[in-house]
Amino acid sequence: MLGRPAHCPVAGTADTLRDVSQTQTLLWILALFVLEVNHLKWIWWEHWDCRSCSTKHKDCACGSTARWLMFL
């Protein structure tokens, strides 16, 4: 044996972890889902082109871009 393996935790550090309830897990999943939906809306708004006038959705003035979608 060459010594203690590197992946072994030091005694006494594992007692700082605590259990996570199902409610906390559900709230984190919902929060991260909302964050990801808002991120995808931002990508659509900033980087995608309007089908009618070929400008970015944020700069589109032709009226075919659903601006109300950004307020959801």
Q: pLDDT tens digits, residue range 3-52?
A: 666 666 665 555 555 788 899 999 999 999 999 999 998 888 888 888 78
- Model confidence, pTM: 0.59
Determine the straight-line distance between the first and last CA of the chain, rounded to whole angstroms. Answer: 61
What residue spans of the chain are helical by DSSP H? 22-47
- Of 72 and 32, the structure prediction assigns the larger pLDDT to 32
